Structure 1
Amino acid sequence: MTRTLLLGVRLFDPASAAGAVEIEGERISWVGDAAAARERLPGSAVLELPGAVVTPAFVDAHVHATAAGLLADGLDLTGCGSARALLDAVAARVAARPGALVWGHGWQDQTWPDELPPRSELDRAADGAPVYLSRIDVHSALVSSALLDRAPGVTDAAGWSRTALTGDAHHRARRAALAAVDSTTRDAAQAAFLADAAARGVAVVHECAGPDISSVADLAALRARPGPEVVGYWGEAVRTAEEAGELVAATGARGLAGDLFVDGSLGSHTAALREPYSDAAGCTGNRYLDAAEIGAHVAACTVAGTQAGFHVIGDAAADALLAGLDAAAAATSPAAVRAAGHRVEHLEMVDPAQARRLAELGVVASVQPLFDAYWGGPEGMYAMRLGRARAQGMNPFADLAQAGVVLALGSDAPVTPVDPWAAVRAAVEHRTPASGLTPAQALAAHTVGGYRAAGDRSPLAGRLRPGAPASYAIWDGTGTLDGSAANPRCLRTVHRGTVLHDALSSRPTVH
């Protein structure tokens, strides 16, 4: 088996600064300095990479691949500054593709000068076409009447309105929109998403699927696709270990986790809060699962030997999560819950005592640092929704790390883009002082933490160590790695010895 030596590189590993790495098959066979590497030349293929940097390949611990990939040919609304601009964008897309599904994403209305458009105005722009336009957080959407005709029961569901749908009404409309996406379009969207992830140094993604988000067929197609490894989760609650086993077998999921909603999002006023929103009098958000249901799900998954997990954003949702975990620990045992390695997504409003209890129960927190970069700070969306005082406590990464909670970084694409260096930078440069991570902690959370979140507790997972899987990325060595705001360019992404992305001009020389 040919050995390949990468020479002239710097290694960025959570605890390494070695200068050369040797790959043999699917494993890293040796790590050391350049001088020692010369002694290993006979029989080796040498790849000279002066000034390049090698890191462990990144793991994005929370994605929605099809929805993100659809934006490659969808309607990008992230730059829309008003309802009028949104309607004009829809009308232009319909004119270009009469009658076709309009899949759009990314609008944010909190700073618009006008109100959300009523459905009657969207229908005029849609001219009879089915239209689905998700808000940036994907917890509410503007939809046309033509789409509603394909979504029975929406008008009777919680969250129905004549502007933006939320709650169960939104979930029903989203299912109808996804059902309108043909398999050819879906396959192209998934392929585009995975190729983009690989080009950004990502070798593993955690797909957070579920009945309110995608479909079993969508997840199966994604898991079978070449490219970055897909770790699939299915967000559906169960009450018994037998139900858990049957559902895991039916979906092929790693666990019954991911976006199993306890609540919604702050942007859509659906995150569950202890006290009302500052900008919506009397509103405390949505509650989809209570503590008893959470406890039953965790206990069932613990006994079945599979991961449980939940989408949790608001502080009231965090209260329900902790109460449910405690109930599951009482029904099984704290040791059994800890051994199962359950996870929680987002966890944006959590206090230090809750963080310590999560650490005691071995719960991994899958968090998204770009949420803070996008919406944190004294003038950001969090402050608008919660007031400045409450907003300062959002996304307390430092408190979670100090409590011993394992962190795994991700994007929640399409909510924020797959951009691991931007996520690392956002985790370090948190907009609330003392809430961020160190660079080493952030890099570890986007590599080692991703494997831990998927249940891999090997000390070699996500590391550049002899014996570790050959999962690494090669970078041009500039940008973020030197402290600037620019991203380095990914030259190659490799996972378990297989090249996923290759932009290297040089090739190895056999010695």
Structure 2
Amino acid sequence: MLIRGGVLLDGTRADVRVQDRITEVGDGLATRPGETVYDATGGTVLPGLHDHHLHLRAAAAALHSLHVGPDAVTGPEHLARTLRQAASDADGWIRAVGYHESVAGPLDRAVLDRVCPAVPLRIQHRSGVLWMLNSAGLARVGLADHPDGRLRSADTGWASALPHAEPPLGHLSALLSRYGVTGVTDATPGLSAADVAALQQAHQRGELAQSVHCLAAGKRILHDDDLDLDALTDFIADRHAGGDPVALHCVTAAQLVVALAALAAAGRHPGDRLEHAAVVPDGSLAAVAACGATVVTQPNFVAERGEAYLRDVPAAEHHELWRVASLRAAGVPMALSTDAPFGRPDPWAAMRAAVTRRTASGAVLAAAEAIGAAEALTMFLGEASAPATPRRIEPGGRGDLCVLSVPPHQVLHDLDAEHVAATVVAGEVVYARR
């Protein structure tokens, strides 16, 4: 196809001829017989966005789950009403997501049994690392005698008794296409080879328009109550010996310190990643830069959870949260992502949060960590295997493009998904705004 009348992010007017790869870029390219033509009419043409860290199956399931986070439920009574209503409508499991203790305090089987005694219920903590089940749910998974019903996501044995129908990916794919996303990196730990193959097959048959890269075998989630430096060092060394990188999940200062020590002991691989780096103390900045790993972070949580940070984190530590500017200044390679479904899947909202650092109330969290709009945008343009290196519109590049309805200066001013006019994957339009 030929995209005619577009403008690149640097202001260059360009027509773009594309198949599975970009074949020509120039102003005034002649239309060929039988060629599909898309008129960009002065709108911006970008490489398709890549979300460098999300969880496909969980995000697809979240579209059909009950949301009980602070943005949806306002307190204990509201939570109880919501769960009772869901129980009255349920014909099987109730799957709820996004919970945080600010809604109604810690949850366990006793609390859940008081509001939902008969229908099996599982509620995922918004961190993604914990599920809370009521007694009916525990009985269904063979854990009727479990003391509190609080089960780690990483302990997957109990999940074998859950319904096994995989959530369809089509609705999620359509949503991502509307945002201009043409590729994703699935960061779900513990995926089997069959799981990875199933995601690739979903892309090949068109259920999932986005290309998929999986971290899977190289992903390691760290827990503060189980930080084993020697074991982590051995894991990294084994992966590196096989020629493979690692991706280490670090959301606390303790996890980051252990991850950095393990990377220092095991040595570098150019594809190593630090996922999240949610807390980076001043004393760890130099070590993050020295380790050589790419930090894939989510400033959207400043917007989504910033009110809780302002309330619960000492003001003197606010600048350590979801750093971007200081890490870039230290020479750390970086990319952005949404962490959907634990964050909202809109990459444009993540870009705005990186630029403004504004919480839901409009307060600014660590203004010195803000970056420019062009920086934020290009941090969603990297290749899956090289997240910190932005792709360009040039011959030979992948035929995955995002066409916006407005010129570059307005794209950068607004950073708004509403400007996405069309999304192209391998030379075919997978989304066009009506």
Bucket of the pairwise TM-score, normalised by the shorter protein? 0.7 to 0.9
CA contact (8 A) 2:373 2:413 kept: no
2:415 and 2:401 map into 1 onto residues whose CA distance is: 22
The Cα of 1:124 is off from its aligned counterpart by 4.2
Aligned counterparts, 1:59-74, within 5 A: 59-74=50-65
Matched, 1:432 2:359: no
Letter in 2 for 1:130: P
1:45 and 1:287 map into 2 onto residues whose CA distance is: 57
**How many correspondences in the alignment?**
418
CA contact (8 A) 2:129 2:154 kept: no
1:80 to 73, 76, 92: 73
Q: Output the aligned Cα RMSD.
A: 2.8
**Structure 2 equivalent of residue 413 of structure 1:** 340
2:125 to 117, 129, 135: 135
1:494 and 1:94 map into 2 onto residues whose CA distance is: 42
CA contact (8 A) 1:105 1:136 kept: yes
3-state SS of 1:231 partner: strand
3-state SS of 2:423 partner: strand
CA contact (8 A) 2:140 2:161 kept: no
The Cα of 1:488 is off from its aligned counterpart by 2.4
Letter in 1 for 2:20: E
2:410 and 2:136 map into 1 onto residues whose CA distance is: 46
Letter in 1 for 2:294: V
CA contact (8 A) 1:126 1:144 kept: yes
Matched, 1:473 2:402: yes
The Cα of 1:117 is off from its aligned counterpart by 5.3
1:443 to 360, 364, 377: 377
**Structure 2 equivalent of residue 283 of structure 1:** none
**Structure 1 equivalent of residue 137 of structure 2:** 147
Matched, 1:262 2:235: no
The Cα of 1:171 is off from its aligned counterpart by 2.5
Deviation string 1:124-157 (CA, Å, 9 cap, x unpaired) is 433422211112222333321122224456977x
Letter in 1 for 2:401: Y
**Structure 2 equivalent of residue 193 of structure 1:** 172
Moved more, 319-328 or 400-409: 400-409
The Cα of 1:435 is off from its aligned counterpart by 0.5
**Structure 2 equivalent of residue 244 of structure 1:** none
CA contact (8 A) 1:58 1:202 kept: yes
3-state SS of 1:488 partner: helix
Letter in 2 for 1:199: R
Tell me: CA distance 1:175–1:21, structure 2 relative to 1, closer, same or farther (3 Å): farther
3-state SS of 1:6 partner: strand
Aligned counterparts, 1:154-303, within 5 A: 161=148, 165=150, 169-171=151-153, 176-177=158-159, 179-183=161-165, 186-188=166-168, 190-211=169-190, 217-226=194-203, 227-234=209-216, 255-257=217-219, 260-263=220-223, 286-303=224-241
CA contact (8 A) 1:480 1:486 kept: no
1:219 and 1:31 map into 2 onto residues whose CA distance is: 34
Deviation string 1:232-274 (CA, Å, 9 cap, x unpaired) is 122xxxxxxxxxxxxxxxxxxxx512xx2113xxxxxxxxxxx
1:324 and 1:385 map into 2 onto residues whose CA distance is: 30
Tell me: CA distance 1:193–1:174, structure 2 relative to 1, closer, same or farther (3 Å): farther
3-state SS of 2:352 partner: helix
Matched, 1:30 2:27: no
1:313 to 251, 254, 265: 251
CA contact (8 A) 1:18 1:31 kept: no
1:62 and 1:207 map into 2 onto residues whose CA distance is: 6
Percent same amino acid at aligned positions?
Answer: 23
Moved more, 19-28 or 144-153: 144-153
2:160 and 2:345 map into 1 onto residues whose CA distance is: 21
Deviation string 1:169-196 (CA, Å, 9 cap, x unpaired) is 322777645752332xx242x3322222
Deviation string 1:476-498 (CA, Å, 9 cap, x unpaired) is 22897162474324332223324
2:260 to 303, 318, 322: 322
By relative contact order (CA 8 Å, sep 6+), the higher-ranking structure is 2
Gaps of 5+ in 1: 235-254, 264-285, 330-336, 506-511
1:371 and 1:449 map into 2 onto residues whose CA distance is: 23
CA contact (8 A) 1:105 1:133 kept: yes
3-state SS of 2:386 partner: helix
**Structure 2 equivalent of residue 386 of structure 1:** 313
Moved more, 219-228 or 348-357: 348-357
CA contact (8 A) 1:262 1:317 kept: yes
2:25 and 2:167 map into 1 onto residues whose CA distance is: 39
1:374 and 1:24 map into 2 onto residues whose CA distance is: 37
Deviation string 1:294-314 (CA, Å, 9 cap, x unpaired) is 211111111101111111011
3-state SS of 1:494 partner: strand
Deviation string 1:76-122 (CA, Å, 9 cap, x unpaired) is 22310112212211111121124x01111123332x4x544553342
2:305 to 346, 361, 375: 375
Tell me: CA distance 1:219–1:149, structure 2 relative to 1, closer, same or farther (3 Å): farther
3-state SS of 1:437 partner: coil
The Cα of 1:352 is off from its aligned counterpart by 5.5
Tell me: CA distance 1:399–1:175, structure 2 relative to 1, closer, same or farther (3 Å): farther
Letter in 2 for 1:97: A
Gaps of 5+ in 2: 204-208, 358-364
3-state SS of 2:60 partner: helix
The TM-score normalised by the length of structure 2 is 0.87
1:302 and 1:338 map into 2 onto residues whose CA distance is: 6
2:161 and 2:53 map into 1 onto residues whose CA distance is: 22
The Cα of 1:202 is off from its aligned counterpart by 0.8
2:38 and 2:410 map into 1 onto residues whose CA distance is: 24
2:298 and 2:145 map into 1 onto residues whose CA distance is: 33
Tell me: CA distance 1:363–1:153, structure 2 relative to 1, closer, same or farther (3 Å): farther
Tell me: CA distance 1:96–1:445, structure 2 relative to 1, closer, same or farther (3 Å): same
2:281 and 2:112 map into 1 onto residues whose CA distance is: 42
**Structure 1 equivalent of residue 94 of structure 2:** 102
